[in-house]
């Protein structure tokens, strides 16, 4: 593999010249197709680390859907229910474990995943390539590609789809260095691997942590490790369902992640699954229409746009119906990259079905947060590990 790749530009078109390069033994990746840009490659290298760690910790195929250096979704290769398959538009499609992982990762927040960067932990098989071929995506990184899968992906975007192969055995140096405003920053890279031991220091009265919840807490923690801080992540059934990234306040992280989880679950309501779309409406248009349908603050123009997408007026979906449906969302796991300073985070998390929490602990108000968890019968563990990522 070569030592540098010249890029068209950096973060923005006026930032020229731009390149990626290695000062050691060469780059650990090669471009098999397309011409990935600066942000594409930032997404690629961050998302690859995420799925690689998920694979190592869970021993399951993993996928991530990245946008602007944070995951919109991440998931493990667990079979989908019929409801999820319909909500993710993959009914009747053959899904390998790897394809199921990507369907789940993309399904966490389909609106945000539009034009995503895809990371896969395992060599790409044909079922996964077929699924990817249908979606609007900028590129993919994986440790390998089956010949038929590679040929199919090379047809995507009129032959310009970005395809990167990463060396799965590559390990970066212990120290990482970057430059900001002419000043060099150096630190030991965050090579701490999430482990079940981080969920074992349970500080609440309820100490019942099933294996499935432990798995989801680990999934959420690893996702946060590659999410712009501050961040909170909600997960259930082996997949992320809400990420609140890059917020200045912890409660805003929780509100954002929980609101996304609510939307994820509302998409599975029978009224949503049976929306009467007009013939020829694409999946991205359906995703946007569903997002509009679930909102309660639509403008007159947005309401008209929704009506034009559907074959008839949208069925009424009242706030009471939504609350009743969301009451069925349970057993959700939540991880936070920093401690909770106030109990308001717990109150909001409870409203979105959170039962299991892992956070670093260490706040002067830890006891108030623990008391809030006890009121709701939650299980909370202190990991002792902060997971900031900038």
Name the band, by pLDDT with cuts 50, 70 and 90, for residue 367: very high
Tell me the per-residue pLDDT of 35-60, one tens digit each, with 9 for 90 and over: 999 999 999 999 999 999 999 999 99
Q: Do 101 and 62 share a structural domain?
A: yes
| Angle, helices 126-134/97-107, rounded to nearest 10 degrees | 30
Tell me the per-residue pLDDT of 248-305, one tens digit each, with 9 for 90 and over: 999 999 999 999 999 999 999 999 999 999 999 999 999 999 999 999 888 888 888 8
Residue that is last in its domain, among 105, 139, 166: 166
Residue that is last in its domain, among 115, 132, 166: 166
Q: Do 195 and 71 share a structural domain?
A: no
Q: Average pLDDT for residues 333-349, to the nearest whole number?
A: 97
Active-site residue, selected from the candidate residues 67, 156, 225, 260: 67
Q: What percent of the chain has pLDDT over 70?
A: 100
Q: Do 184 and 78 share a structural domain?
A: no
Q: Do 184 and 161 share a structural domain?
A: no
| Catalytic residue check, 230 | yes
Active-site residue, selected from the candidate residues 14, 82, 158, 390: 390
Q: What percent of the chain has pLDDT over 90?
A: 93
pLDDT surpasses 80 at 2 = no
**271 lies in some domain:** no
Dihedral sign for Cα 264, 262, 217, 342, please.
positive
Q: Do 339 and 298 share a structural domain?
A: no
**32 lies in some domain:** yes
Which residues make Cβ contacts (< 8 Å) with residue 355, sequence separation at least 6? 213, 330, 331, 332, 333, 377, 378, 379
Q: Do 247 and 331 share a structural domain?
A: yes
| Catalytic residue check, 14 | no
**240 lies in some domain:** yes
Q: Do 145 and 109 share a structural domain?
A: yes
Q: Do 335 and 309 share a structural domain?
A: no
pLDDT of 302 reads 87
**19 lies in some domain:** yes
| Catalytic residue check, 12 | no
Active-site residue, selected from the candidate residues 30, 68, 271, 322: 68
**387 lies in some domain:** no
Active-site residue, selected from the candidate residues 162, 230, 288, 345: 230
pLDDT of 125 reads 98
Residue 24 sits in a domain whose CATH number is 3.40.140.20
Report in angstroms the alpha-carbon separations of 2 from 34, 51, 83, 218, 224. Answer: 16, 24, 46, 35, 31
Q: Do 349 and 203 share a structural domain?
A: yes
Q: Average pLDDT for residues 14-33, to the nearest whole number?
A: 93
pLDDT surpasses 80 at 1 = no
pLDDT of 296 reads 86
pLDDT of 219 reads 98
Q: CA end-to-end span of the chain, whole Å?
A: 28
Mean pLDDT across the chain, nearest whole number?
Answer: 96
Residue-number span of the structural domain to which 299 is assigned = 276-314
Query: Quick one: three-class SS letters along 297-323?
Result: CCCHHHHHHHHHHECCCCCCCCHHHHH
**320 lies in some domain:** no
Q: Average pLDDT for residues 82-97, to the nearest whole number?
A: 96
Q: Do 207 and 300 share a structural domain?
A: no
pLDDT of 25 reads 82
Q: Average pLDDT for residues 306-312, to the nearest whole number?
A: 89
φ/ψ of 124, rounded to 5, equals -75, 125
Domain tally, the chain: 3
The two three-digit tokens of residue 372, written as one number: 């809030």
Q: Do 116 and 51 share a structural domain?
A: yes
| Contact between 141 and 116 (Cβ < 8 Å) | no
Q: Do 157 and 8 share a structural domain?
A: yes
pLDDT surpasses 90 at 89 = yes
**204 lies in some domain:** yes
**337 lies in some domain:** yes
| Catalytic residue check, 225 | no
């Amino acid at each position: 593999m070569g030592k540098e790749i010249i890029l068209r530009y950096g973060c923005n078109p006026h930032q020229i010249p731009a390149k990626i390069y290695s000062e050691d033994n060469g780059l650990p990746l090669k471009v098999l197709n397309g011409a990935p840009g600066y942000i594409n490659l930032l997404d690629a290298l961050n998302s690859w680390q995420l799925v690689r760690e998920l694979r190592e910790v869970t021993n399951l195929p993993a996928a991530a859907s990245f946008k602007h250096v944070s995951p919109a979704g991440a998931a493990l290769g667990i079979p989908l229910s019929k409801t999820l398959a319909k909500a993710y538009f993959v009914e009747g499609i053959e899904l390998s474990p790897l394809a199921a992982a990507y369907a789940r990762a993309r399904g966490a927040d389909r609106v945000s995943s539009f034009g995503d960067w895809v990371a896969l932990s395992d060599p790409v098989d044909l079922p996964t390539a077929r699924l990817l071929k249908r979606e609007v995506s900028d590129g993919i990184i994986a440790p390998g590609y089956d010949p038929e899968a590679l040929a199919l992906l090379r047809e995507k975007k009129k032959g310009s789809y970005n395809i990167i192969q990463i060396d799965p055995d590559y390990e970066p140096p212990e120290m990482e260095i970057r430059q900001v405003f002419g000043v060099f920053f150096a630190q030991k890279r965050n090579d701490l691997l999430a482990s079940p031991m981080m969920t074992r220091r349970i500080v609440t009265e309820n100490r019942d942590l099933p294996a499935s919840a432990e798995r989801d807490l680990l999934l959420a923690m690893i996702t946060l490790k590659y999410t712009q801080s501050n961040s909170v992540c909600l997960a259930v059934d082996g997949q992320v369902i809400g990420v609140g990234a890059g917020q200045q306040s912890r409660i805003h992280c929780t509100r954002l992640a929980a609101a996304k989880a609510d939307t994820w679950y509302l998409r599975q309501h029978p009224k949503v699954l049976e929306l009467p779309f007009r013939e020829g409406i694409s999946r991205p248009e359906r995703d946007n229409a569903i997002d509009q349908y679930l909102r309660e603050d639509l403008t007159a123009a947005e309401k008209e746009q929704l009506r034009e997408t559907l074959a008839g007026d949208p069925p009424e979906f009242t706030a009471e119906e939504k609350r009743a449906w969301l009451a069925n969302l349970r057993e959700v796991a939540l991880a936070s990259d920093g401690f909770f300073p106030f109990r308001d985070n717990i109150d909001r998390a409870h409203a979105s079905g959170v039962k299991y929490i892992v956070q670093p602990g260490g706040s002067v108000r830890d006891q108030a947060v623990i008391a809030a968890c006890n009121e709701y019968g939650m299980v909370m563990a202190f990991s002792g590990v902060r997971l900031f990522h900038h």
